[in-house]
Amino acid sequence: MTPTERAKLERREAKGGSLAAQTQLGLWHLTGAEGLERNHVRAVALFRRAADLGHACAQASLAACYVKGWGVEQSDAQALAWMRKQADQCHAHTQYAVGKAYARGEGTEKDLPLGKRYLELSAAQGYGDAVALLKDLRETER
């Protein structure tokens, strides 16, 4: 299978420094889409390059690789570290996921104050799951 025209275009864009293109190529390498070889190690390298430069989608994709052990050794701690980078860029869903992890001690030591801080950031953006979890946590404290 040869790379499609879309994949060739993304490669040119990625070589030109496009973080979005690097991330897209990484996603295609994860799945073997667009005629690219399924290669998790290559996907991680592409994600890491863009994630290190602050690309939120690359950070989330790299976190997912650490959760699943795709192309890297599985590590909840590394996954959470990359999720925090994305959450710190005001992504409500990721703020919720990070907050929940800390509030419940899922994949990390429990840190209720830190968990609540992320949940409050998410809830302030109207993320319903964060609002509900905060309510549950407050009721449990009573």
Q: CA-to-CA distance for 100 and 133, rounded, in angstroms?
A: 8
Which pLDDT belongs to residue 1? Answer: 59
Q: Are 86 and 122 in contact (CB under 8 A)?
A: no
Q: CA-to-CA distance for 4 and 116, rounded, in angstroms?
A: 45
- Angle of the 56-68 helix axis to the 76-87 helix axis, nearest 10: 160
The share of the chain scoring above pLDDT 70, in percent, equals: 99
- CA–CA distance from 120 to each of 7, 56, 95 (Å)? 40, 20, 9
The per-residue pLDDT for range 65-100, each reduced to its tens digit, is 999 999 999 999 999 999 999 999 999 999 999 999
